[in-house]
Every structure is written in structure tokens, then in C-alpha cells.
Amino acid sequence: MTDSKGELTKGGGLEDDVPSDVPAGGPLVEVRDVNKHFGELHVLRDVNLTVERGEVVVVIGPSGSGKSTLCRSINRLEPIDSGSILVDGKPLPQEGRELARLRADVGMVFQSFNLFAHKTILENVTLGPVKVRRERKEEAEKYALELLDRVGIANQAQKYPAQLSGGQQQRAAIARSLAMRPKVMLFDEPTSALDPEMINEVLDVMTGLARDGMTMIVVTHEMGFARRAAQKVVFMADGQIVESNTPEEFFTNPESDRAKDFLSKIITH
């Protein structure tokens, strides 16, 4: 259900759509000693990361630091060479139905919107729930319209992606991921392909999700979002997590020289 402001409320909110078999305790995502190479390039070096239920973790760092590779590894878009990744206490499956089920539980929003151009926005949002989760079309459409209302584009439901602005398309992509009722949402630089005036409309939706208690891992260059919405900021450089701290501590008192150098460049430019 939605209230007068389009917010998801109790009875139709994100909290009530968590599957009943979710264990009450333990981290939702665990990355343990993960390594990944692209040929000779060692892009992830013994990476360890824990994401608690309801936690918003923002991953920042210079280009080429391994941020996007880490994000893509968590739903196995990138296979890892060694180490382990657990989602809800279970190791990532290699292939087949178990992998498809994982990808239903782990929503992903990319830099490019990846919407089907020949389908309406409503059809884009309902496709996964109907085909993968075997929901009835009527129920899937009802929930999809709630989500499109939630992200502020319910009036665009019957349009095609090319008829929407970039910001609207990215909000549709977020609704499409939410329609699968994921346990965790991954965002890989979701605003980097947008014009400056469209960035805030997407970040506002993401901030609302964080406020609603969605577990999120966000790779972004938007430091304002990191300060406002994150519980934890993870700084990566050269394939490693250099430091991890609260936004307040990280931005006001970074521990490593690498982080101090990074922050000095982005704050003065």
C-alpha cells in the first residue's frame, strides 16, 4: 500500500516483503578473502566485507580500485578466483536454478538502465516477478504500480523507455529490481550516466529506500549520498579495502594517507 505521499506503508512496505525463511540473525552479505584477476591484473586482493541486515554500505575510491568488480561479484556477474561470498548465510551457487534464485534475492541497478526497449515500463517491472517468481500477472502489476508510485513515475507506466528521461529510466530500473522483493540491493554507480539535473531524483529514491530499511551496497562517486544515507563507508584502492568507518569518522578523520589524498582531491575539485 502507499500513503498520500507515495511512501510504502506497513502492510505493503519493504519490511513486510522479506521472505519468511530469512534467519533473524547474522550478516546478510559476507565477503571472505576474495581474490579476482583479469588476466595479469589483480583487481580484488583478499577483500573482506560484512554487511548487516538493513545496513547501507557505500563503497568509494578512485577509478580502477575494484569497486564495481566487488559489487558485480556479489551476485556472481563476475566469478571470483578464490575466497567465498555468502548471501543470507549461503555460499554463492555456481549456476542453474540456484543462481537464478540468488539473483532474484540480490537486486542490481547498473550505470546503464538495461530496460527492454520494446516493452512498456510496467511490462519491464512485471517481467521478472511473472517469469521468475511465477506471480500472477494481476498481482505483479498491482505491486509494480505501487513501486512506480514509490519512485515517482506511476504516470509513465504505459510509456516505453525511450520516451523517458535518463533519471526516469533509472528510477524504473530501481522499481524493476524492487519488484523481485530482494533481500539486498546492489547499485553500481547508478547516477554516473545521468545529466547533473537528474542525479538528485535518483539519489532521493535511494535515500528513501535506505530510510525504509533496505539493505544496500552502493558504489558511487556521490559523497553527499554517502554522508547522508550510509551507515558505513568503505574506501577501496588498488583492489583492497583500505579502510571502513562511519561517514562522520571517514570524512572528518580518515585514517590512511591514501584516503586523505583521495578526499583532498574530490573536495577541492
C-beta neighbour count of 38 within 10 angstroms: 10
pLDDT (0 to 100) of residue 267: 64
Q: Is pLDDT above 80 for 23?
A: no
Predicted pLDDT at 8: 41
Close Cβ partners of 231 (under 8 Å, ≥ 6 residues apart): 55, 56, 57, 246
1 falls in which pLDDT band (50, 70, 90)?
A: very low
Backbone angles phi, psi at 99, to 5 degrees: -70, -40
Q: For the residues 241-266, what does the mean pLDDT come to?
A: 94
β-pairing, 232-237 vs 56-60, is: parallel
H helix runs in 154-221, sequence order: 166-178, 196-211
Distance CA 262, CA 61 (A): 7
CA torsion, points 139, 141, 146, 150, in degrees to nearest 10?
A: 140
- The domains of the chain, with CATH numbers, are 15-268 (3.40.50.300)
Band (pLDDT 50/70/90 cuts) for residue 100 is confident
Question: 3-class DSSP state for residue 105?
Answer: helix
Three-class DSSP category at 253: coil
Distance of CA 43 to the CA centre of its chain: 20
What pLDDT, in 10s, does the model give residues 110-140? 988 899 999 999 999 999 999 988 999 999 9
